[in-house]
Amino acid sequence: MPTYFCTAAIGLLNAAKKQTIAAAITGAHAEITGAPQYFAQVIFDEVLAGSHFMGAEPLAHEHVFVYGHIRAGRSAQDRQALVMRLIRDVAAAASLPAFSV
């Protein structure tokens, strides 16, 4: 079962934003992989500000970190399309600028 974990600072995402993000992730997963929407689960975790580090430095800006587990065997093209779609859609749903890879 595909599972997406979303981590953000406490208070960054209200219930409506969480719902919008969950819908965006579920829709993208279903559209790109062809899996039924009810397969995807989205779990939110909130951390204290200053508790998320990258490169040994605390993140200094608001962010939503998404970590996804999907089944093996998806093509590199589908995985890349899913990542790019999630970057765009989650950032929009959270009202944050999109980070580009």
10 Å Cβ neighbour count for 56? 5
Domain carrying residue 14 = 3-94
Express each pLDDT in 27-62 by its tens digit.
999 999 999 999 999 999 999 988 989 899 988 788
- 99 occurs within a structural domain: no
- 15 occurs within a structural domain: yes
Contact 62, 9 (CB under 8 A): yes
Express each pLDDT in 78-96 by its tens digit.
999 999 999 999 999 999 9
What are the C-alpha distances in Å from 37 to residues 3, 30, 41, 55, 64? 12, 5, 9, 35, 22
- 101 occurs within a structural domain: no
- 57 occurs within a structural domain: yes
d(CA 56, CA 16): 32
Q: How many domains are there within the chain?
A: 1
CATH code of the domain covering residue 82? 3.30.429.10
The helix (run of H) or strand (run of E) holding residue 7 is: strand 3-9
- 77 occurs within a structural domain: yes
- 28 occurs within a structural domain: yes
